[in-house]
Amino acid sequence: MMNTERCVGVLNVECELPPGTDHLAGSMINSETFGLPVLMETVRGASLDLVMRGDTTLEASYEAAAQRLVERGAVLITSYCGGAIQYQAAIAAAVNVPVVTSSLMLLPVLLRQIPPSAKIGVMTFDARAFRDDWLGITDPASRHRVVIGGVEGGALFHNESSCPPQSTSVADIEEDVLTSVARLRASNPEIAALLFSCTLFPPAAAAVRRSTGLPVHDIVTLCQATLRSVS
C-alpha cells in the first residue's frame, strides 16, 4: 500500500551510521532540516567501495530502492553518498519524482554565476579519492575553474573511517571544513563560491558562510530548492 504522507527519500549505501547523526542540526537526514519526515532506504549490495567505483551492476538496486521510497511517500529522492551521482540517470528514469543524487549537479549553474576568472571550491571528504568524472565537465577551461579540497586527517575523517564509525560534533565538523577551506583558498585566492560535495558537511555550512563571506552550496540547499518546486 502506498503511503500518502509526504517525505524526503534518502538512498544510502550498506554502512553503519554513527549514533546521533540524524539529530545533527542541518544534517540532510534530520527531519527538521526540510520540515518533512526523512526516510532512508539501503541500496542492496551497495558497498561504499562499489558505489565509489560506479559499479554498473548496482543500477537495478538503486532503481528498486528509489521506487520503494516513492511507494513510502517520497516526493524527492536524494542520496546520503555523493558517489550515487553515477546512477543519477538510471534512478531518474525509474521514478516520477525529482531525483538529486549529488550537489555536484549544481556545478554548471554555479560556474555561470561567477566571473569567468573566478573559481569554485569543491569540498569533499577525501580529495585523494575524488573522481574527476563526477564533475560532469568536459570543457578544459571550465575544469580549470574547479578546485578540490578534502578534510583528510581531521576529526570527521578519523571518526567516519573508524569501525564502527564514531560520532562527530558540529563544532568539529565546522573546524575541519573551515581548515580545509582556508587551505584551499590560500592556494586559490580566485575562489568565489564553495560547493560541498560531501553530505556530511551541511551542518558546517552556516559557520563557513559567516567566516568566509562566500556563497556555500550543498545537498541541503539543492534539496530545499527542489522541494519548493513540487506541490
Which pLDDT value is given to residue 5?
84
Which pLDDT does position 4 carry in this prediction? 58
Residue range(s) in the chain whose domain bears CATH number 3.40.50.1860: 7-101, 103-218
Q: Is 121 helix (H, G, I), strand (E, B) or coil?
A: strand
Going by CATH, does the domain composed of 103-218 fall within 3.40.50.1860?
yes
Average pLDDT (113-119) is: 97
The residue assigned the cell 516526493 is 75
Which residues lie below 8 Å from residue 228, measured CB to CB, with a gap of 6+? none
With respect to CATH, is domain 7-101 assigned 3.40.50.1860? yes
If 0-12 CB within 10 Å is exposed, 13-18 middle and 19+ buried, where does residue 69 land?
buried
3-class secondary structure, 195: strand
Residue from 222, 148, 140, 216 nearest 185 by CA? 148
Residue 22 has pLDDT above 90, yes or no: no
Q: Could you tell me the pTM of the whole model?
A: 0.93
Average pLDDT, the chain: 94
Q: Are strands 146-150 and 191-196 parallel, antiparallel or unpaired?
A: unpaired
Residue 90's closest CA among 108, 64, 70, 51?
A: 64
